[in-house]
Structure 1
């Protein structure tokens, strides 16, 4: 009985993690997805700017519940892949040992921001939108840059996030095929 391959997919917010994960789930046979954003982690940084300023300790996030869900899926013999929509690649010690392959979607920050605004802020008033953009400029951007500095080089494969979803998924499938040959 072979265990499922765990593929972590990271990107900045708005970088395409969920879209790519969903597309891979539809293409890869016998796959399940776990989404980081579906969890309410009780222990984690309240202020991302301060967290980055303090050294961005990825273990400050208590993601034990996520680890338990991965463990549970690993025991299922009817899965080939577990797709982990997860922003930290190998940087959290509780999750690292489960990951077989980490992918970083390298999305330019202007594209990620535009996607985030279109996705999350469509019905906001202009004042709330301005406030969100000011928060990004005054501190939030540093968290995005932290991911590019730390998570991107800590990944096994980096794909250009400005490509179409189809092109990104095709490149990932090629990489997974190479990984499976090993």
Structure 2
């Protein structure tokens, strides 16, 4: 009988470096039985809404996510069943018609800003990380990313941060830090924390290889 896969949750605010941490860990196992699930892939389908309504979506609020589908697909992976992971179309602000086939693996890294907000998700995780980075660094990183990669202006990034991102962080994301098993300061720059996680995952994979 196969052992249940291990789920590692990596949470943190926008620009905290959580994606970098998750990718750094994942990148240490290029030939191993490990996969990454991004919470961003599970934004709700909005195809039934007109574009002007879609543009009002608050992507930093728990209700923006189809958490039921995420939980359903995680349960399938835990049962060693393949899934069709959704793809979100940011240009059209709705779910794409295409999906990505994902095969089950021994270790699942679940990454996203609000993965520790839902108790059902928390209960599925074996290890919960929260990447804790000062707000001034997070806004600078977000500004650089949105201007470079998404063609945003400085004013629009600042407006969105002050009106939506910051209040949502304080209301929904920051409080979930208390659920973390490990708090990782400074995100992807914290190589000690990343090395510790890699060592832990190697132990898990080695133990499964002996079964």
After TM superposition, is the score higher than 0.5?
yes
Task: Report the counterpart of residue 36 of structure 1 in structure 2.
Answer: 39
Task: Report the counterpart of residue 50 of structure 2 in structure 1.
Answer: none
Computing the radius of gyration from Cα coordinates, the structure with the larger value is: 2
Q: Residues of 2 paired with 1:92 and 1:68: CA distance?
A: 14
Q: 1:110 to 1:172 in 2, by over 3 A?
A: farther
Q: Residues of 1 paired with 2:130 and 2:190: CA distance?
A: 14
SS at match of 2:7: strand
Query: What is the aligned-residue RMSD (CA, Å)?
Result: 3.3
Task: Report the counterpart of residue 175 of structure 2 in structure 1.
Answer: 150
Q: Residues of 2 paired with 1:153 and 1:171: CA distance?
A: 20
Superposed CA offset, 1:101-131 (max 9, x none): 1100001111112221222221636xx3212
Q: 1:85 to 1:176 in 2, by over 3 A?
A: same
Q: 1:179 to 1:31 in 2, by over 3 A?
A: closer
Deviation at 1:158, TM superposition (A): 0.4
Matches within 5 A, 1:1-182: 1-28=2-29, 29-42=32-45, 46-47=57-58, 58=62, 61-76=65-80, 79-122=105-148, 124=151, 128-147=153-172, 149-161=174-186, 164=189, 166-173=191-198
Deviation at 1:11, TM superposition (A): 0.8
Deviation at 1:68, TM superposition (A): 2.1
Q: 1:143 to 1:59 in 2, by over 3 A?
A: closer
Q: Residues of 2 paired with 1:85 and 1:72: CA distance?
A: 18
Q: Residues of 2 paired with 1:40 and 1:148: CA distance?
A: 16
Q: 1:19 to 1:162 in 2, by over 3 A?
A: closer
Q: Residues of 2 paired with 1:104 and 1:179: CA distance?
A: 20
Q: 1:32 to 1:172 in 2, by over 3 A?
A: same
Could you tell me the TM-score, scaled by structure 2's length? 0.66
Q: Residues of 1 paired with 2:16 and 2:172: CA distance?
A: 11
Q: Residues of 2 paired with 1:176 and 1:150: CA distance?
A: 27
